[in-house]
Amino acid sequence: MKAEHYVGGVFRSDGTSFPLIAPADGSELGAVPEATREVVDDAVTAAQAALRGPWGTTSAEDRAAALRAVADGIQARFEEFVDAEVADTGRSREFARTVDVPRAIGNFRSYAELLYGRPERAYTTQIPGWSGGAGEALNYTVRRPLGVVAIISPWNLPLLLSTWKIAPALACGNAVVLKPSEETPSTATLLARVIDDAGLPDGVFNLVHGHGPDAAGEFLTGHPGVDAIAFTGESATGAAIMRNAADHVTPVSFELGGKNPALVFADADLDAAVDGTVRSSFTHSGQICLCTERVYVERPVFDEFVVRLGERASALDGYGPMISAGHRDKVLAYYGLARDEGATVVAGGGAPSFGDERDGGFHVEPTVLTGLPETARAVREEIFGPVCHVAPFDTEDEALALANDSPYGLASTLWTRDLSRAHRVAPRVETGIVWVNCWNIRDLRTPFGGVKASGIGREGGEYSLDFFSEPVNVCIQI
C-alpha cells in the first residue's frame, strides 16, 4: 500500500518522503510523503469548503448512510486492511482480523445506529416557565457540529483508534483532517480510498501524513482554521499540543498514556487472575494503552502468583515486535534501569534471538519484575512494552493507596471473588475505567478515557457525540 495524502478529494504525494520500516524484520516497506505546511493548509481549507457545501446541511439519515457505506467499504477490503495493519505494526494476523479491522467497522456502524437514537441536530431540551421577569419564554437547545476537527492518532492501534474518532466526528456533521502516526500510515491511506469510493463529498475527510513536532502534527494542531482537536498518544505530546492550540483556544479531547494497576486479592480465582494478567500485560507486546504495568498481589498468594506469571511469560511464543528500533531501545533501557534500581528479573529482561529474519526486527522479551520500590522509575513511568512489576500488599486500603499513587489514571483491573469488595474498591480507584475479573471488554457506548495525566474528556457513544458537537441555547419570547 503506497501512502498518500488525501486532500479535497484528491490523492497526492508531493514533496519529500521518509522510509516506512517493517517492525517484524526491519525491511523497508515503502516511502511516506511528509506533509508540508502548504499541504496541511490545503487540507484545512478543503475541510472548511466542505462544511460550506452540502455536507454542512446533511440530515442525520444521510450521515448515517455515509457511515454505513464506509463500514461496508472496509468490510469489502477486509483482507487488504489486515495485510496493511500487519505489515506496519508487526502484529499477528489473528489480532488484526479479530480486533483492528472488525472494530473499525464497528466504530462506523455503531455511530450510524446512534444517530437514529437522537432527533435531528440532537437535543431539544425545553425549559418552560422561567423567564427572569421578562414575560413568558421558551428555551430549547440544539446541537451543531464544531467545524473542522483535527484527529491525531498513534501507532499502536492505528485503524481502530483513528476510526474511533473519525466516525463520531462525521456523525455529528464535522469535516475531518486526520494525521496518523508516521510509523503506521497504510490503513489510513486505505481508509481514504474507501471513503473516496463511498462518495463522501470532497473535503469532508482529509488525510495528511508526516511527523509530529515541527511538522504536519504541529502545523495542524496550531492551525487557526481547526475548530477542535481529538488526540490519542503520549501525555507529553498532549501537553505540547495543548500549548500549541492555546493561542486559538481550540477545544481538545485527549486520550493519553497510562501506568495501569491490577489488584489481585487473596480471594480471587488465581487461575483467572494469572490468565487475565498474561493478557493485560502482554497482549500486543504491552503496546496497548490499557495494558497492566503494575500488579499488586495480596501477600498470602504473592509468591504463587509471581511464580505462575513468570512461567507463563517465559513460555509466551509468537509475541510481536516493538513498533520501531527506537521504541525497542527505550524498552530495553527500562529493563536495564530496573536492574540498576534493584529489580529481581523473574522472566525475560532482554532481547530474544530467533535465528531467522525476525532478528532484523525489534523484539523484546516479555518481562516480569519484582522487588522495586514504588519510587523506582520503572514503576512510575509508562514503558509501553511487555513488562510488569509485581509487588505485595497486606490490606485493601494499602492496595488502593498503591494503585492511586501514580500521575496516571487510565485503566485498572480488580481480581476478587468478593462482590462487596469489588463494589467498594472499584469507585475508589483513580482511573477512568475499572475492569473487575476481566480486562479490555469494550462496549462502545460506555465512557472511555482517563483521569489525571491520562486524558481530558470521555469518548464513546453519546460521550463522543457530546464532544464532537456543541449545544446552542435558543430562547424565544412568547
Active site residues: 255, 289
- Residues 108-167 contacting ligand 6OD, CB under 6 A: 156-157, 161, 164
Whole-number Å distance between alpha carbons of 32 and 168:
27
Asked if 388 and 292 count as a contact pair (C-beta separation under 8 A), the reply is yes
Q: How far are the Cα atoms of 270, 273, 403, 405 from residue 306, in angstroms, in the given order?
A: 11, 11, 18, 22
* Cell numbers describing residue 266: 487473596
The verdict on 179 binding ligand NAD (CB under 6 A) reads yes
Strand partners of residue 151: 178, 230
Listed ranges 195-203, 271-279, 288-296, 303-311: which one lies at the site for ligand 6OD (CB under 6 A):
288-296
| Lookup result for grid cell 460550506 | 52
Q: How many amino acids of this chain bind ligand NAD (CB under 6 A)?
A: 31
Whole-number Å distance between alpha carbons of 375 and 427:
25
Q: Which of 101, 178, 290, 368 binds ligand 6OD (CB under 6 A)?
A: 290
Shortest distance, position 96 Cβ to ligand NAD, whole Å = 16
Whole-number Å distance between alpha carbons of 447 and 460:
5
Which x/- pattern, by CB under 6 A, does the window 245-284 give for ligand NAD? ----------xxxx--------------------------
Shortest distance, position 107 Cβ to ligand 6OD, whole Å = 8
CB atoms inside a 10 Å sphere around CB 279: 15
The verdict on 325 binding ligand NAD (CB under 6 A) reads no
Shortest distance, position 368 Cβ to ligand NAD, whole Å = 20
| DSSP letters for 335-367 | HHHHHHTT-EEEE--S----SSGGGGS-----E
**Between 40 and 66, CB nearer to ligand NAD:** 40
The verdict on 293 binding ligand NAD (CB under 6 A) reads no
Q: Which residues contact 475 (CB under 8 A, 6 or more apart)?
A: 137, 138, 139
Q: Which of 95, 111, 282, 448 binds ligand 6OD (CB under 6 A)?
A: 448
Shortest distance, position 236 Cβ to ligand NAD, whole Å = 7
**Between 77 and 165, CB nearer to ligand NAD:** 165
Tell me the HSE value of 199 on the side-chain side, using a 13 A CA sphere.
Answer: 8
**Between 58 and 287, CB nearer to ligand NAD:** 287
Residues binding ligand NAD (CB under 6 A): 152-156, 161, 179, 181-182, 211-213, 217-218, 221, 232-234, 237, 240-241, 255-258, 289, 382, 384, 410, 450, 455
